[in-house]
Amino acid sequence: MTDASQAPSTAPNTAVPPTPLPAPPPAAASQSHALPANQLFDQLARIEDKCSRIEDKYARSEALLSRVEDKVENATSRMNESARQTDLAALRAEMRGISERTRRLPGTGALVLTAVITAILTVVLMIAVERLNLVRLLPQQAAIGTTAQ
């Protein structure tokens, strides 16, 4: 039994160590550095070209947005002007209605004529009431007349 218990404990201790990877040959290393440098310059040139195209697109987008902003501002000013014109038209219509109503009112001459006719008729009617002895029909005169007697 002791042999069985010792066998598993010695097995992990006898593991094989990992083998190191072989180094690349020196001639291949010098060629790999020369090619990627040219490829890196080509890639850098392509990146710069893409950046310049992106900058051009950005500039065009900015110019387009500037034009859109100008158009929106023009449309807003036209709408404001249109609203003012609508308000002015409504105000003109209201003023026209008021002036038509005031034109239908009697003028100064008609008011003076009405006042004169009313005064003359009042005098004529008062003279008629006194001559026909109709003082008792007038409520104030009836009260004054009874106290005076």
The residue behind tokens 């900058």 is 55
pLDDT value for 128: 87
Classify residue 7: in a domain, yes or no: no
Pair 42, 83 in one domain: yes
Pair 43, 85 in one domain: yes
Classify residue 141: in a domain, yes or no: yes
Pair 76, 115 in one domain: no
Q: How many helices (H) and strands (E) does the chain have?
A: 4, 0
Q: From residue 77, give the alpha-carbon distance in Å to each of 72, 81, 144.
A: 9, 6, 77
Classify residue 47: in a domain, yes or no: yes
The string of pLDDT tens digits covering residues 100-144 is 998 888 889 999 999 999 999 999 998 988 888 877 776 764 455
Pair 100, 123 in one domain: no
Expressed as residue numbers, the domain containing 87 is 30-105
pLDDT beyond 80 at 4: no
Average pLDDT taken over every residue of the chain: 79
pLDDT beyond 60 at 36: yes
Pair 42, 69 in one domain: yes
Pair 112, 89 in one domain: no
Q: How many domains does the chain have?
A: 2
Cβ neighbours of residue 137 under 8 Å, at least 6 residues apart?
129
pLDDT value for 133: 80
Q: From residue 80, give the alpha-carbon distance in Å to each of 14, 43, 83, 94, 116.
A: 92, 54, 5, 21, 55
